[in-house]
């Protein structure tokens, strides 16, 4: 038994219960991504638990089974293992799996960096496929860091390479950052 199942069974808790204990309040006044990563990444198996939690928060994103390896202000590194589930008929990683990986990586880099009173939405995405993606794909994103929650558009670049360091795809997310709605 590995990863999340081990941790949940070990403690006899559901994922929701575990997350609520790790992040006592999931209200809108916090940066949940940053708080979860900062608490989990240093724990044994914590990166896997974080990756699965993100996949549960965004179920379609979770279908590719990517693993978040590094996350800090303005930066994310996410890995996708090449396996049958994400392949196409040409025995390479499917274009849609790559675009999903790009969106996940760019969103995490931006989300981790947001002020607690800000939110974002992807308004557009462009991607160039450079070569067939085979083997483990490593996606990295280095993005501008929003200083405040004022409405602004950010270009979030993502580069995807194979294990040999060859670029397989490049993407740019056009993300709109703005303030979270105020509660009355």
3-state helix, strand, coil in the chain (%, to 5): 35, 30, 35
Q: What is the pLDDT of residue 30?
A: 87
pLDDT for position 182 = 79
- Whether residue 70 is contained in a domain is answered as yes
- Flag whether 140 is in a domain: yes
pLDDT at 184: 58
In a domain, 66, yes or no: yes
pTM of the model as a whole: 0.84
Q: What is the pLDDT of residue 6?
A: 36
Contacts by 112-115, CB closer than 8 A, 24 or more apart: 112/31, 112/33, 112/34, 112/37, 112/71, 112/72, 112/73, 112/76, 113/73, 113/74, 113/143, 113/145, 113/146, 114/31, 114/34, 114/146, 114/149, 114/177, 115/31, 115/146, 115/147, 115/148, 115/149
Q: What is the pLDDT of residue 88?
A: 85
pLDDT of residue 159: 98
Residue 47 belongs to what domain range?
3-179
Is residue 146 domain-resident? yes
Looking at residue 14, which CATH number applies to its domain?
A: 3.10.129.10
Predicted pLDDT at 14:
53
What would the pLDDT profile of 85-102 be if each residue is shown by its tens digit? Answer: 898 898 889 999 999 999
- In this structure, is residue 184 part of a structural domain? no
**Structural domain includes residue 156:** yes
Tell whether 91 is covered by a domain: yes
- Give strand ranges (E) for the chain: 67-72, 75-80, 118-129, 137-142, 152-161, 167-179
Residues of the chain with pLDDT under 70: 1-28, 184
**Structural domain count of the chain:** 1
Residue 29's pLDDT is 74
Please tell me whether residue 7 adopts helix, strand or coil conformation: helix
């Amino acid at each position: 038994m590995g990863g999340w199942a081990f941790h949940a069974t070990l403690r006899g808790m559901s994922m929701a219960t575990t997350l609520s204990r790790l992040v006592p309040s999931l209200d809108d006044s916090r940066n949940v991504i940053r708080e979860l990563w900062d608490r989990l990444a240093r724990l044994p198996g914590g990166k896997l638990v974080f990756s699965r939690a993100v996949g549960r928060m965004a179920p379609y994103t979770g279908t590719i089974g990517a693993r978040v390896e590094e996350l800090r202000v303005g930066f994310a590194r996410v890995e996708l293992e090449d396996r049958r589930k994400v392949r196409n008929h040409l025995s390479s990683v499917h274009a849609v799996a790559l675009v999903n990986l790009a969106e996940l990586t760019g969103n995490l880099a931006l989300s981790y960096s947001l002020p607690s009173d800000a939110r974002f939405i992807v308004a557009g995405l462009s991607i160039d496929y450079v070569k067939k993606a085979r083997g483990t794909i490593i996606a990295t994103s280095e993005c501008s860091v929003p200083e405040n929650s004022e409405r602004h558009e950010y270009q979030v670049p993502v580069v995807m390479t194979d294990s040999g360091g060859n670029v397989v795809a490049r993407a740019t997310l056009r993300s709109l950052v703005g303030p979270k709605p105020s509660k009355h």
